[in-house]
Amino acid sequence: MNPYPPWLNAGDNAWQLTAATLVGLMSLPGIAVLYGGLVQKKWAVNTMLMAFSAFSLVLIVWVLWAYNMGFGKPMIHASVKGTATGFIGHPGPVLGSTQEQGQATIPLLSGSGGSIPDFRFPKSSLVYFQFVFAAITPLLFLGSVVGRMSFKAWLLLIPLWTTFVYSVNAFLLWGGGWWAAKGALDYSGGYVIHLAAGTSGFVAAAVIGPRLARDRQHSAPNNLLLCATGAGILWLGWNGFNGGDPYFAGADAATAVINTNLATATALLTWLFMDMLLSPQKKPTLLGSINGMIVGLVAITPAAGFVNGMGAIAIGAIASAVVWASWYKLSATRPFKKVDDALGVVHTHGVAGLTGGLLVGIFADPKIIVYPGGSTTYPGLAYGRHSFHSLLTQLGAGLTIIVWDGTVTFLLLKLIGMFVRLRLPDAALETGDIAVHEEEVYPADTLTALAGAAPAAARAAPEPGAEPAPASPATQTAVLDE
């Protein structure tokens, strides 16, 4: 007997599964507790349940049809300079024994003639690794719509968004689709994930409508310890996010990991210093620093294994300064002032992802090798003689994501809005978690067992001619129907 098929490399497979798990931890519990801590106390349960339920929904959709739309054989064919490409993959399940245990491939990219060496791990490793990216993307734009979106509408949006938005993004840039064939670079998802989340979240926030005016004004977070916990999990989890994307446990994986940390540390410090020097309060803040940290992680994502260490530091500093300005200045102008993007996803993910994606076109170092012997990347403006080619390609791919994701997210929400309300009624928004879930994040000390408390309520209620007090949980929940 042999533990491995001949094409399998234990190191590569072990790293791919480890990296995927690290990325999964970024969603659960990372984003769940970061966002759960950032929202008002009355929305913590709703926010966390939206994260857990979306993570589950995306996995089912992913293995039934969406993985193959992002990474399978092309359905709509095209050709760029003689290279076969396309716009979307053939949907189909990846649940059989050969699909789970056979060698992984990306049909347009793998093997001889392709741009990626033959994979040395099974397809289930690739499916799961790509799933955790597909799952975190809607979790990121959850931050735009928390505090008013109907839970039912959320459950309907996630499968549709994964199918018609994320799969297209992934195929275009990672599955060998049109922008990949044009040479656009997105190492780990500056466009596919972060620009997508920023754009879709902003559009969704506009279509669904704002939170209650008072909640918008008094949107104090409820737990900074959980914010710090979630943020820390994001940072270290990102070692898998970027370190896993070469698909091999080689030198470029290590390059991507250290570059990711360099850009992140630089961006955190840049935001910290800008807060101390330029903010109205001139004070260092935890939540500001965490925001800067996330900006660094996002901005280095499209670049991690294409730039050198100096490029990583430059990207961290530039992106953090750009997003800081966006956060404080752009947010005061229309349409950013009007649209209630609750946690500012359009800045920390949208602007940061686009900035990072464009900076790849400047700092991509042709001497940083993804695969020894493979084709080198286009040199960025800082290394190419007089070539704007990389920068223009990056711009084109970024605009494609913005237009496609924005338009389709708008249409999907309009479609869902024909069947269920997108925004909860005001009475439910006043109450939050208890109205939607009958749970609250720190259950009150005044709660008692149902049998003991009902007579007390009955005693308090009766007045001549008054309506009888609600008698059972069933009548209570009926009032809160979405």
Partner 1 sequence: MKLVTAILQPSTLSRVLDALSGFGVSGLTVSGTEEVTGELRVEVYRAHALVSNTTARIRIEIVAADEDAPDVVRIIVSAARAAHGDPGRVWTQTILEVVRIRTRERGLSAL
Q: Which residues bind partner 1 (CB under 8 A)?
A: 214, 218, 427, 430, 434, 438-440, 443-444, 446-450, 453-454, 456-457, 460-461, 469-470, 473, 476-477
Rounded to whole angstroms, the Cα distance separating 439 from 203 reads 29
Residue type, 33: V
Q: Strand locations in 67-190, DSSP E? A: 77-80, 83-86
Which residue's CB is nearer to partner 1, number 172 or number 429?
429
Listed residue (302, 72, 61) closest to 175, CA to CA: 72
Rounded to a whole number of angstroms, the minimum distance from the CB of residue 215 to partner 1 is 10
Rounded to a whole number of angstroms, the minimum distance from the CB of residue 305 to partner 1 is 45
Rounded to a whole number of angstroms, the minimum distance from the CB of residue 280 to partner 1 is 21
Instruction: Give the ranges where 174-223 is alpha helix by DSSP (H).
Output: 178-181, 196-208, 213-217
Rounded to a whole number of angstroms, the minimum distance from the CB of residue 474 to partner 1 is 9
Which residue's CB is nearer to partner 1, number 310 or number 457?
457
Query: DSSP label at 90?
Result: P
Q: How far from 218 is each of 150, 215, 327, CA to CA, in Å? A: 21, 5, 18
Rounded to whole angstroms, the Cα distance separating 469 from 137 reads 45
CB of 296 closer than 8 Å to CB of 340: no
Which residue's CB is nearer to partner 1, number 26 or number 39?
39
Listed residue (193, 187, 206) closest to 165, CA to CA: 193
Which residue's CB is nearer to partner 1, number 332 or number 460?
460
Rounded to whole angstroms, the Cα distance separating 334 from 82 reads 44
Which residue's CB is nearer to partner 1, number 81 or number 426?
426
Rounded to a whole number of angstroms, the minimum distance from the CB of residue 426 to partner 1 is 8
Structure tokens belonging to residue 247: 């698909």
Rounded to whole angstroms, the Cα distance separating 312 from 147 reads 35
Give the H/E segment covering residue 227.
helix 224-243
Rounded to a whole number of angstroms, the minimum distance from the CB of residue 463 to partner 1 is 9
Rounded to a whole number of angstroms, the minimum distance from the CB of residue 470 to partner 1 is 5
Residue type, 232: G
CB of 218 closer than 8 Å to CB of 429: no
Which residue's CB is nearer to partner 1, number 414 or number 437?
437
Rounded to a whole number of angstroms, the minimum distance from the CB of residue 460 to partner 1 is 5
Rounded to whole angstroms, the Cα distance separating 416 from 57 reads 17
Which residue's CB is nearer to partner 1, number 77 or number 214?
214
CB of 188 closer than 8 Å to CB of 104: no
Instruction: Give the ranges where 279-366 is alpha helix by DSSP (H).
Output: 286-300, 309-328, 345, 352-363
CB of 264 closer than 8 Å to CB of 238: yes
CB of 205 closer than 8 Å to CB of 339: yes
Rounded to a whole number of angstroms, the minimum distance from the CB of residue 275 to partner 1 is 26
Which residue's CB is nearer to partner 1, number 160 or number 454?
454
Rounded to a whole number of angstroms, the minimum distance from the CB of residue 370 to partner 1 is 49
Which residue's CB is nearer to partner 1, number 218 or number 334?
218
Listed residue (140, 71, 78) closest to 109, CA to CA: 71
